[in-house]
Chains A and B, each alone.
Chain A
Amino acid sequence: SAVISQKPSRDICQRGTSLTIQCQVDSQVTMMFWYRQQPGQSLTLIATANQGSEATYESGFVIDKFPISRPNLTFSTLTVSNMSPEDSSIYLCSATTGVGGGELFFGEGSRLTVL
């Protein structure tokens, strides 16, 4: 299994600012992902965080808005840039230690409110 810690757990931000969310896993994992959960909605995959290289973004998400880093096997960051109220969401880090079909572990999420 893997325990995932995210910081901050919640924050209130001003429009136009940027915030970086950190994700730390307690063991080496094969893959890490970032999801967004907008109020009352399901989880949407933002991108796959690739170790040592650029993240792979899903349709509708771009690097300029959501830059992601993954410098090693256990750590990743997601930045939400130039925030607007529409970015108010829970951002979830997830990771797996297996290959296809392996369990995806989730952090408790970072709840961002943009004023």
Chain B
Amino acid sequence: AQSVTQLDSQVPVFEEAPVELRCNYSSSVSVYLFWYVQYPNQGLQLLLKYLSGSTLVKGINGFEAEFNKSQTSFHLRKPSVHISDTAEYFCAVSEGGTNKLIFGTGTLLAVQP
């Protein structure tokens, strides 16, 4: 069975600092990987996804993530965060060929001035 682990429930960071949100997954088959963002009182929005090909994936709002098969990780990074990046970030996995997503527990990115 698939599972997703987000090790950090909350990540405080100062504005313009870099940030990395960690995500590890487990699966016995090939997977697709996703990062979603949920702003306060809003629905989820796709940041980026990895299906195949280049392991470095660029998304919206300056975020990027790197797929590491040997470490079963898909960490999300941004070189310089803004106050507006404050939100809950969810990592998700689906087994190749399906659309069912299994979500991690989420990481609250709290950007401070």
Contact = CB atoms under 8 A, between A and B. Distances in A.
A106 B43 contact: yes
Contacts of A107: 43
Interface string B80-113: 0000000000100010111111111110000000
A101 B100 CA distance: 9
B44 A33 contact: no
A45 B102 contact: yes
A104 B79 CA distance: 26
A89 to B, nearest CB: 14
A103 B59 CA distance: 13
Given A103-B46, A107-B43, A108-B43, A43 B99 contact: no
A33 B98 CA distance: 12
B99 A102 contact: yes
B105 A100 contact: no
Contact of B96 (A41, A42, A96, A100): A100
Contact-residue bracket for chain B: 20 to 34
A42 B106 CA distance: 6
Contact-residue bracket for chain A: 20 to 34
A43 B51 contact: no
Contacts of A41: 105
B43 A109 contact: yes
Nearest to B95: A100
A44 B43 CA distance: 15
B43 A100 contact: no
B96 A101 contact: yes
10 contacts: A30-B99, A41-B105, A44-B103, A45-B101, A48-B100, A100-B32, A100-B97, A101-B94, A104-B99, A106-B44
Interface of B: 32, 34, 36, 41-46, 49, 51, 90, 94, 96-106
